[in-house]
Structures are given as C-alpha cells and as structure tokens.
Amino acid sequence: MIETSIVADLRGRLGEYLEAVTGQEVDVEHFGVLPGSTAQESWQVKAKVGEAAQSFVLRRDPPIPPDDHPLPRDQEFRLIKAAHETGVRVPRPRWYCLEPLILDQPFFMMDYVEGIADGAQLVSLPELAEARTLLPGQMGEQLAKIHTIDRTQHKLDFLPQPRAGFSPAQETIANIRAMILKLGVHNPVFEFGLRWAERNAPKTDKTIVLHGDFQVGNLLVNKKGLAGILDWEYARLGDPLEDLAWPCLRAWRFGRGDLQLGGVGAREPFIQAYEQANGRAVDRNAVDYWEILGNLRRAVTCLVAANRRVSGGHASVERASLGRRSAEMQFEMLRLIGAGGQTDHV
C-alpha cells in the first residue's frame, strides 16, 4: 500500500536523523500516528538507541496548515522547554528540526509518557476514578506554575499578545469578530454576546504566559493523575483568568455536564488549588466572564472548523461534526449570561 511505503520511507529518514543527533546507531522499530490532537500530527516513535530502548513522541506540522495560526514547531518546542525548566509537568523535550528534507514538514521530538490523552476516556474509565479526584488540585497547581514562566528569561518574545491599546478581552473580542466576518455569518446570538462582552470586559493588571488550550483533552493522565500537559501550540500572552475559565467550558466535559471542570470535578477546588499555589486571590466574577466569552469563541471556532470541511479545505469528518456543537456553545453562553454571572446587560 502507498501509505505503508510512505511511512516506511519516513521511518528510514527519521532513523538517519536520530543517528545524527545522538551520535549512536539507531533502529526505529515503530513509527505510528497517535490519536488526539487535531491541529498538529503526533507520532509515537519506538527506537533502539545504541543499546537502550527508548520511546518518543514526534510532533509534525500537517501538510495543510490550520486556519487559526498555531505556533510553528520550533516555537512550540522552545515553549515546552521553558515550561520543563520551570518545573511544569511536561514531557522532556529532545530535538527540533526545520529542515523539510528530513520528514517533509518541521517537527520536534519529546519523551513518551505513559497515560491517556483522550477526554472521553478520561472522564469515564473506572480505572481512572481515583485520578479524577486528584485532577482538580493537580490542574490548579500546574496552571499556577505555567503562569510563572518567565517570558523574558526564556526569550519567548514570539508569543502572540494583545495589540497596543487592547486589553486581553478586547483582543479576544476583535479576533472573534474577524472570524465571524470571514465566515460571512449573520447571527443575532453572536452579536448579543459580543456586545455583552464589550460592556463587561474586566481590567487586566498584566499579561502572562498562557497555555492557551488548557483543558482535559490536552492532559495526559494515568492512575496517579496528571502525568503531562500537552498541545502548547495556542500559547500566547494574556489574562491568567482566561486559562482558568477555559477548562470549565461545557465543550470539554465529554458527556459529564454536571461536572463543570472538564467532566472530572467542580470548579471551586480547582480555583482554590490555583490560588494556594499562586498566592493571589482570584475574582470569580472575572472567571465567569471569561467562561462566557470562551463559550462564544468556541461557538465561532466550531463553525470555522466545519466550514473548512464543507469548503473542501479539510477532509476530516470530525471537523464537519463540530458545526452542530456551535449551537450548544451559543446556548451555554446565553444561559450563563442569564444566570447573572455579570450584572450589566445589553
């Protein structure tokens, strides 16, 4: 089969690359796609390096780049390296390569960590019941540590940030408006949500490094709980409360709508763990705001993903199915506004 011959060719080239960077004889015994991330390709690599058996994960740019402009592989690698040096629970980064002749697209490699990185399994598997009780505290502690990453020390000046004169909330609203305009969608729910967001935007003292997509679908979990934080390609500078609100969106509960924190627990223990590790009090009303705005952003990005499939830009059935999820996010946004998370109304 053509696919098998392509993978075999890539495996051979990867072996030559590993021999060059390790200075040892390398036999790549397995090279296969991992399920999970939709923005970038993830491959598991099992290799004998010298006399040692080692396992890695390789992250490679897809042939067709996403519409939402994630970080390129070398920048994601540098950020993960900064997180690792800060003590964040991430797989150990190894090498990155921008030379297209190696694997056709830029890629980087990191150590393989055993665990499950599938939100639907994470919230339902009986063997992870104890891990689910530990996750709210572990997630809060690790997110607080992410928010201490020193962007100056680690030279992370490439991270996207709000434009001059824009607060993080205003920048997010502007980005949502741009996506809606590009889609050509006229939706009164979107307009209502945007006007509400503009009128209720919180002030932000300073911007810090955000993971940008901190939710249970991007966590690696084993029986002891949180084993690794994955998928850093949407990192940016912004309001830390946006990162706190994002894992609480209904979109990330994987069928457990009663558990606000990603289908594994309540929001409050997560925020309290963050506060204890961070040393600063968290404004719950501001977290409410970012959850509402997050639902609006997710509602629009679901349509963006579905439109890409319908227009022929991407053949993924998963992306096409996201179109129907937009209505769920719109309803959730309206429900939260009606519940009185903020008092000012359009």
Three-class secondary structure of residue 118 per DSSP: coil
Mean pLDDT to the nearest integer, 157-165: 95
Burial of residue 127 (CB within 10 Å: 0-12, 13-18, 19+) is exposed
Read off the pLDDT of residues 92-143 as tens digits, 9 standing for 90 and up.
Answer: 999 999 998 899 999 999 999 999 999 999 999 999 999 999 999 999 999 9
- Give pLDDT, residue 222: 96
* pLDDT score recorded for residue 16: 95
Mean pLDDT over 77-87 rounds to: 98
Q: How confident is the model at residue 320 (pLDDT cuts 50, 70, 90)?
A: low
CA distance 79 to 61: 16
Per-residue confidence at 5, pLDDT binned at 50, 70, 90? confident
Distance CA 268, CA 13 (A): 49
* Distance from C-alpha of 26 to C-alpha of 57, rounded to nearest angstrom: 16
Q: Confidence band (pLDDT; 50, 70, 90) for 281?
A: very high
Output DSSP code: residue 64: S
Closest CA to 143 of 17, 51, 272, 263: 272
Arch. (CATH architecture) of 136-213+237-338: Alpha-Beta Complex (3.90)
CA distance 108 to 134: 31
State how far the Cα of 10 lies from the Cα of 337, in Å rounded to an integer: 50
% the chain with pLDDT above 90? 80
User: What pLDDT sits at residue 2?
Assistant: 44
pLDDT at 268: 97
CA atoms within a 13 Å half-sphere pointing along the CA-CB vector of 27: 6
Q: Is the model's pTM score more than 0.85?
A: yes
The answer to whether domain 2-111 and domain 136-213+237-338 are alike in fold is: no
How far apart are the C-alpha atoms of 8 and 3, rounded to whole Å? 9
Residue 163 has pLDDT above 60, yes or no: yes
Q: How many other C-beta atoms are found inside a 10 Å radius of the C-beta of residue 208? A: 18
Measured between its terminal Cα atoms, the distance across the chain in Å is 59
For the record, the structure tokens of 241 come out as 């409360």
| Token pair listed for 103 | 């694997």
Closest CA to 32 of 52, 3, 54, 53: 3
Paired tokens of 129: 């019941």
Q: Cα–Cα–Cα angle for 128, 89, 278, nearest 5°? A: 105
Pick 196 or 205 by higher pLDDT: 196
For the cut 70, the answer to whether the pLDDT of residue 316 exceeds it is no
Pick from 39, 29, 35: nearest CA to 212: 39
User: From residue 195, how far is each of 32, 191, 192, 203 by CA, in Å?
Assistant: 46, 6, 5, 17
Residue 1, pLDDT > 80, answer no
* Average pLDDT value for the chain: 91
pLDDT, position 77: 96
Using one digit for the tens of pLDDT, what is the confidence trace for 7-65?
889 999 999 999 999 999 999 999 998 876 556 789 999 999 999 999 999 999 877 66
Q: What ranges do the domains of the chain cover? A: 2-111, 136-213+237-338
Tell me what pLDDT residue 63 has: 72
**What number does CATH give the domain 2-111?**
3.30.200.20
Hunting for tokens 């055993």 — which residue is that? 114
